[in-house]
């Protein structure tokens, strides 16, 4: 499809109308398809002599500078890349993978430039693993709105400090009241240095993990302190028996041997709290 040139060419640098055309050359842009037909726009783009900028190319209203697709096709490919792989979006729109990748980056850059810049009050600092091996990345995010603020390779204290100082402005750092992170010491040091007034909140996963480990330590201590009689009713592994004193499968309530109150209290103290803090299902001792 040929597009006719309009009178009054505009400079792509300053936006003013240029007085003289130096030369022109036809350029092509991929556009949205019409029915089942692929559409390519052909337009003679001019090189202008601008008084302020010198020799510059003409501003194109339907495409960005140095782009090979129109803005509406860029919008469509960028939206599709958010819900499918880039290769699938390239096949769907009939472009190469490299062109689809460049269009996606341009779409994200335009979105980041025009989106509303919030001042987060609650942020998260955590690591993710990408690829094989111990390759970690540190992620800084807004936990309220679910937006990623920054991403850096490595999980050292210097990386966390760079994220907090370079990806957040001074005004944003002053508005932060809480930081949700894990118990990784470099992260705690970075938050304490950069955001000294913010509260540190540990995420639930690590809190439950440490609580479960502490419960297992108490269970092991109680098990080794117990005598032979109590060890018959309390298991020594992580899934200790919580049914001390209850009739087991295969024995009726009349034939079951009741345990002493001391044994029942010890069994309840060492293992009945495991499910209340999020531990997995316990394995029952066959002796119970």
Q: CA torsion sign, 43 to 48 to 52 to 53? A: positive
127 and 154 part of one domain: yes
pLDDT surpassing 60 at residue 260 = no
Which of 82, 97, 115 lies at the terminal end of a domain, its last residue? Answer: 115
What pLDDT is recorded for position 12?
Answer: 78
> Residue 69: is it exposed, middle or buried by C-beta count within 10 angstroms (0-12/13-18/19+)?
buried
Do 104 and 47 share a domain, yes or no? no
Number of C-beta neighbours around residue 55 at 10 A: 13
Answer yes or no: is 130 within a domain.
Answer: yes
Report yes or no on 241 lying in a domain. Answer: yes
Q: How confident is the model at residue 2 (pLDDT cuts 50, 70, 90)?
A: low
Question: Quick check: 266 pLDDT over 50?
Answer: no
Q: What percent of the chain has pLDDT over 90?
A: 33
d(CA 14, CA 234): 81
pLDDT tens digit string along 82-127? 999 999 999 999 899 999 999 999 999 998 888 888 889 999 999 8
- Residue 198 exposure: Cα atoms within 13 Å on the Cβ side: 28
Instruction: Report yes or no on 99 lying in a domain.
Output: yes
Average pLDDT along the chain? 79
Please state the domain count of the chain: 4
Query: Does 286 reside within a domain?
Result: no
Question: Which range of residues forms the domain containing residue 24?
Answer: 1-62
- CA 265 centroid distance within chain: 45
The answer, yes or no, to whether residue 262 has pLDDT greater than 80, is no
Does residue 274 have a pLDDT over 50? no
Residue 131 confidence (pLDDT) above 80: no
* pLDDT tens sequence across 171-212: 999 999 999 998 889 999 999 999 999 999 988 888 888 889
> Which of the two residues, 100 and 224, has the higher pLDDT score?
100
- Residue 123 φ/ψ, nearest 5 degrees: -120, 160
Residue 23 lies in a domain: yes
Taking the alpha carbons at both ends of the chain, their separation in whole angstroms is 83
The rounded distance, in Å, linking the Cα atoms of 268 and 274 is 10
Nearest C-alpha neighbor of 192 from the set 156, 161, 154: 161
Provide the pLDDT for residue 73.
94
- Which among 287, 206, 200 is positioned nearest to 240, based on CA atoms? 287
**Closest alpha carbon to 242 in 269, 280, 260:** 269
Question: Between β-strands 20-34 and 37-50, what pairing exists: parallel, antiparallel or unpaired?
Answer: antiparallel
Question: Are residue 145 and residue 196 in the same domain, yes or no?
Answer: yes
Residue 51 forms part of a structural domain = yes
Alpha helices in 126-245 (DSSP H): 157-166, 170-175, 185-194, 204-225, 228-231
């Amino acid at each position: 499809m040929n597009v006719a040139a309009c009178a009054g060419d505009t400079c792509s640098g300053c936006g003013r109308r240029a007085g003289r055309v130096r030369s022109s050359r036809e350029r092509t842009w991929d556009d949205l398809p019409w029915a089942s037909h692929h559409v390519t726009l052909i337009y003679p783009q001019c090189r202008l002599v601008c008084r302020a900028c010198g020799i510059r190319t003409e501003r194109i209203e339907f495409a960005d500078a140095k782009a090979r697709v129109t803005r509406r096709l860029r919008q469509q490919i960028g939206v599709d890349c958010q819900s499918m792989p880039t290769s699938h979006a390239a096949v769907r729109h009939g472009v190469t993978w490299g062109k689809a990748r460049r269009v996606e980056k341009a779409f994200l850059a335009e979105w980041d430039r025009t989106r509303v810049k919030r001042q987060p009050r609650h942020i998260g600092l955590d690591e993710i693993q990408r690829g094989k091996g111990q390759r970690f990345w540190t992620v800084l995010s807004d936990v309220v709105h679910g937006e990623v603020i920054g991403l850096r390779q490595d999980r050292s204290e210097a990386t966390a400090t760079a994220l907090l100082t370079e990806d957040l402005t001074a005004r944003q750092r002053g508005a932060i009241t809480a930081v949700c992170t894990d118990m990784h010491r470099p992260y705690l040091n970075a938050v304490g240095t950069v955001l000294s007034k913010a509260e540190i909140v540990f995420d639930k996963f690590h809190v439950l993990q440490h609580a479960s480990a502490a419960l297992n330590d108490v269970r092991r201590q109680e098990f080794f302190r117990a005598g032979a009689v109590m060890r018959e009713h309390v298991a020594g592994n992580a899934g200790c028996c919580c049914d001390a004193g209850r009739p087991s499968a295969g024995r009726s309530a009349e034939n079951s041997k009741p345990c002493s109150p001391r044994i029942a209290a010890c069994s309840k103290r060492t293992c009945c709290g495991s499910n209340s803090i999020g531990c997995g299902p316990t394995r029952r001792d066959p002796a119970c």
